[in-house]
Amino acid sequence: MVQMQAVLVVDDDIAVRRPMARLLGLEGFEVIEANNGQEALTCLRAGLGIAVIVLDLRMPVMDGWTFRTRQRADPLIANIPVIVVSGADTERFGELEAFATLQKPVAPSSVVNLLRELLPNQ
Domain assignment of residue 56, yes or no? yes
The pLDDT, as a whole number, for residue 5 is 87
In a domain, 99, yes or no: yes
Question: In angstroms, rounded to a whole number, what is the distance separating the alpha carbons of residues 34 and 38?
Answer: 8
Q: Which domain holds residue 68?
A: 6-104
b/e burial code for range 32-54 (CB count within 10 A of at least 16 → b): bbbbbbbbbbebbeeeeebbbbb
Greatest Cα-to-Cα distance within the chain, rounded to the nearest angstrom: 42
pLDDT at site 1: 37
Write the CATH number for 59.
Answer: 3.40.50.2300
pTM for this structure? 0.93
In the predicted model, residues of the chain with pLDDT beneath 70 are: 1-4, 122
pLDDT on residue 2: 41
In tens, the pLDDT along 27-55 reads: 999 999 999 999 999 999 998 899 999 99
